Structure 1
Amino acid sequence: MVFVKTHDISELNSGTIGKEVVLGGWVEDLRKLGKMTFITLRDVSGISQIIVKGELNDNLEELNRQSVISVRGIVQETKARDFDFEIKAEEIDVLAKAIHPLPVDPIGRLESNIDTRLNHRALDMRNQKTASIFKLRHHVLEILRKTLAEKKFIEITTPKIIGSASEGGANLFSLDYFGKTAYLAQSPQLYKEQMTIGLERVYEISNFYRAENSHTGRHLSEFTSIDIEAAFMDYNDVMNILESLVMGVYKFVSVNCKKEQENIGHTIEIPKSPFERITYTQVIEELKKVGEKVEFGDDLLDSHLRIIGKNHPGFYFLTDWPMKLKPFYIREKDEDSKLSRSFDLQYGYLELSSGGTRLHNPETLKSRLKEQGLDPAQFADHLQTFDWGMPPHSGWGMGLDRLMTTLIGIDNVREVVLYPRDPDRLSP
């Protein structure tokens, strides 16, 4: 038995030539030429060629593609142009056989539609394009956490099972919680606001839930959200933080993830900055100029945002929305109470983030709840924290899945989520 790995394939270098190593991975390709077999072995880090000769070669009759093996052998130089080194095998153990044919082809020679791939998602991870998407997602999360920590934000984890609607919305999943009605959280909004009392700057990266019966390439029932909340900041401050995070992500992966870009077939271009900032009022004027029947106070439809997205390609902030279109916790502008201190981050027509300056006066907050037809009594736990000295604060939430689609140039969030959940998909 030789299945204890000593090296990942990516660790093979000129210093390992002549040394014995044990590799483990799956058989991506298999070519038998007389008394010799060439095995293409892949692990998560890379790919190598295995040379099998002699008696060992005679014992490979039942070995097939995608089976998992361990190989003990000697690293040597190779003449093969697709490999830096090769392994002369001295022992091979078949650890797990793969069936034939497989439901999807991990090499990608035979294409499968996205539903077939999602139904066999674990096997789809052996496809290097798919694997590279999730390696990029890993790096994006890594740089987000690193950057937020550098900006003195503290990571928190808020409940996902809650007793009341966190934002007063209707798109909530309800469940029986030991005889009580509970809900799956659609955001950490109220909790993260409360945390600014003592921690000042907080963030959370976690999954949230929205019972919205949408069938588009950008909506999911379970999604990953990046949320921040910061005391003593206004909406311009947190907009600046959001822009720096997006730029940091693009710069990092553009420079450090060349192999993943090659596998995906997409070059990540660093966007122009600073991001353009346009107001809701400007958007209404632009829409009227092209004949759209829209008035101040109307919500922007997808068709409107597609028009604006063509006028403003790439990233831009859409600011100063009417108060009537924003949640109860958003603060108005001092110079015009009809306008809010709020923003959306757009990528063309696609909304990535929404945020703003929050109300921190408890009496004003109670009045706003009533204005929006919500009962302050249902928010008693939240409102009491405002009596303990709530600092002025601002924040935003951004969809990680949507950000990933902009990064790799696709328009379907299901491609960047391991096991997506939507109105039609509850498994695997």
Structure 2
Amino acid sequence: MRIYTSEITPDKDGEIVELAGWVHSVRALGKLVFVILRDREGTIQIVAPKQKVGEELFKKIKSLGQEDVIKVKGKVVANEKAPGGVEILPLEVEILNRAVRPLPLDPAEKVPAELDTRLDNRFLDLRKPKVQAIFKIRSEMLKSVRDTFYKEGFIEVNTPKLVASCTEGGTELFPISYFEKEAFLGQSPQLYKQMLMASGLDRVFEIAPIFRAEEHNTRRHLNEAISIDIEMAFADDKDAMDMLEKVVLNALNDVYENREKELNILGVKLDIPEKIDRITYDEALEIIKNKVPIEWGDDLSREAEKVLGEEMGSYYFITDWPLEIRPFYTMPKDEKIGKAFDLMYKDLELSSGAQRIHLYDLLVESIKKKGLSPEGFTFYLEAFKYGMPPHAGWGLGADRFTMVLTGRENIRECVLFPRDRQRLTP
């Protein structure tokens, strides 16, 4: 039975094992050939002395090229000089597939490639140990997030991604033809997860794509992203922040405990606070205003976020935002301030959330104040007529959180096949 390279240790000296993977490199030195075999878990050295393996097998091994796919049956040999203290003496080698050469990029990373070249050839780029480390960490984070939700009594749901109206009243929508009707790709599960609060499911979460037709070319935006969304009944903004803090800190600790190898490959030292600080919008403005011009009621510009990020240095919440710059469903704290919050890491926004309006008349009034028509939200508003409890929730960007966990500067590195203004393939 095939095993992974990580399972082969010096204490298996003398055992016969079967491995399969890609040829990472080949080095022939006269009557001796060294092959580095790579699989998902790492690499191992295969040493083929002509005298020991025989003429036919030696010739086959010597013919191997980079990225050929092979299966190897061999004897484990403990050797302090070998990488990892162990190597394989091959007894059988089966060539499962040959790779066409020259390769469009080098998975061994001896020759660097630009990001566009890497993304154009993502199947090859993903063979790199550093790139695989990103997605193993991402997987660990998502597992941790789900584990926390289940422990906290949440139910996983799936809401529609083909929708009839926008979530927040913006124009950043992808219209599509839905038979004889106009439809859109969903910006957010917001309206549906709120409606579910009227169902009695009480606590729900969803991890799914969202789509934003924003015409940007930044390192932190994508037009298709994965959002981690929750909604909690009988809860306020503080309850939602407490849950978000728990989710984030659990994920940080789980990645630290379970993905040490991948963090080391990427050279990342995780920043894991004991708790996440909270500052109000007004307090944030006091920090910003001496360096960047800003008026009360303004959203934070990139320059303002950078100033604030330098001051705060880690994870922090910004609370009590002006109502006029928050979505219509935000519960007012008073006439000017909403029960809304953002989670930041330095100058990067990771999450946005709030306590929602659960009162029908107040919600209709808020929709109108935003210049929207309540008629466009009829299906949504119906849920508020028949006993909607107070509720709160948030959305956390999985791709941006992965950026923080892996120390990447460009969000495209944290998505298998990113979608932006220029990229629709592969």
TM-score (norm 2): 0.95
Work out whether residues 35 and 54 of structure 1, in 8 Å CA contact, stay in contact via their aligned partners in 2: no
What is the SS of the residue equivalent to 1:332?
coil
Measured in 2, the distance between the counterparts of 1:295 and 1:166 equals 27
Cα distance between partner residues in 2 of 1:295 and 1:315: 24
Q: Determine whether 1:104 maps to 2:105.
A: yes
Cα deviations across residues 71-101 of structure 1 (Å, max 9, x unaligned)? 1122232243313322221111111111222
- Structure 2: how far apart are the matches of 1:7 and 1:60? 20
Correspondences of 1:16-415 after superposition (within 5 Å): 16-52=12-48, 53-55=53-55, 56-197=57-198, 198-270=200-272, 272-290=273-291, 292-333=292-333, 336-415=334-413
Q: After TM superposition, give the deviation of residue 61 of structure 1 in Å.
A: 4.3
Cα distance in 2 for partners of 1:337, 1:349 equals 29
Give the C-alpha shift of residue 21 in structure 1. Answer: 2.1
CA 314–27 in structure 1, closer or farther in 2 if over 3 Å, else same? same
Shift of 1:103: 0.9
Contact 2:28–2:62 (8 Å) recurs in 1: no
Distance across 1 between alignment mates of 2:259 and 2:195: 38
SS in 1 for 2:93: strand
Confirm or deny: 8 A CA contact 2:10 2:85 kept in the other structure. Answer: no
Q: Which moved more, 1:218-227 or 1:36-45?
A: 36-45
Question: Does the Cα contact within 8 Å between 2:408 and 2:414 map onto a contact in 1?
Answer: no
8 Å contact from structure 2 (residues 353, 394) kept in 1: yes
**Cα distance between partner residues in 2 of 1:16 and 1:293:** 66
Aligned partner of 1:8 in structure 2 is 4
Q: Where in structure 2 are there 5+ consecutive unaligned residues?
A: none
Name the SS of the counterpart of 1:324 in structure 2.
helix
Partner deviation per Cα, 1:351-401 (whole Å, 9 max, x = no partner): 111101000011111111111111111111111111221111000001111
Distance 1:257 1:307 in 2: 32
Q: Partner of 2:424 in structure 1? A: 426
Deviation at 1:127, TM superposition (A): 0.9
Contact 1:254 1:269 in 2 (8 A): no
Q: How many residues align?
A: 420
User: Counterpart of 2:337 in 1: which secondary structure?
Assistant: strand
Partner amino acid, structure 2, of 1:368: S
Deviation at 1:15, TM superposition (A): 5.9
Q: Is the 8 A contact 2:137 2:405 kept in 1?
A: no
Deviations 1:236-288 (A, max 9, x none): 11101111111111111122212101211222232x23222111112223333
* Distance (Å, rounded) in 2 between the aligned partners of 1:135 and 1:80: 29
3-state DSSP of counterpart to 1:421: coil
Q: Distance in 1 between matches of 2:90 and 2:288?
A: 68
Q: Structure 1's 347 and 423: CA in aligned 2 closer, same or farther, altered over 3 A?
A: same
CA distance in structure 2 between the aligned counterparts of 1:293 and 1:18, rounded to whole angstroms: 71
- After superposition, the C-alpha distances for 1:289-323 in whole angstroms (9 at most, x for unaligned) are 34x43222222211112111222111111110111
Give 1:17 deviation, angstroms.
3.4
SS of the residue 1:236 aligns to: helix
Q: TM-score, normalised to structure 1's length?
A: 0.95
Counterpart-to-counterpart distance in 2, 1:326 and 1:76:
64
Name the amino acid aligned to 2:239.
Answer: D
SS at match of 1:21: strand
What SS does the corresponding residue of 1:337 show, helix, strand or coil?
coil
**Ranges of 4+ aligned residues in structure 1 off by more than 6 Å:** none
Tell me, in whole angstroms, the C-alpha distance in 2 between the residues paired with 1:405 and 1:59: 43
Q: C-alpha separation between the residues in 2 aligned to 1:87 and 1:60?
A: 13
Separation in 2, partners of 1:30, 1:14 = 23
The separation in 2 between residues aligned to 1:258 and 1:348, in whole angstroms, is 23
Using the TM superposition, give the Cα deviation of residue 33 of structure 1 relative to its aligned residue in structure 2, in angstroms: 2.4
Deviations 1:6-65 (A, max 9, x none): 212222245643332221101111122223322111110122122322221023343111
Q: Could you tell me how far 1:409 is from its partner in structure 2?
A: 1.9
Q: Report which stretch shifted further, 258-267 or 208-217.
A: 258-267
3-state SS of paired residue (1:60): helix
The alignment partner of 1:289 has SS state of coil
Unaligned runs of 5+ residues in structure 1 are: none
- Equivalents in 2 of 1:328, 1:57: separation in Å? 71
CA RMSD for the aligned pairs? 1.5
What secondary structure sits across from 1:304 in the alignment?
helix
Give the aligned residue type for 1:77: A
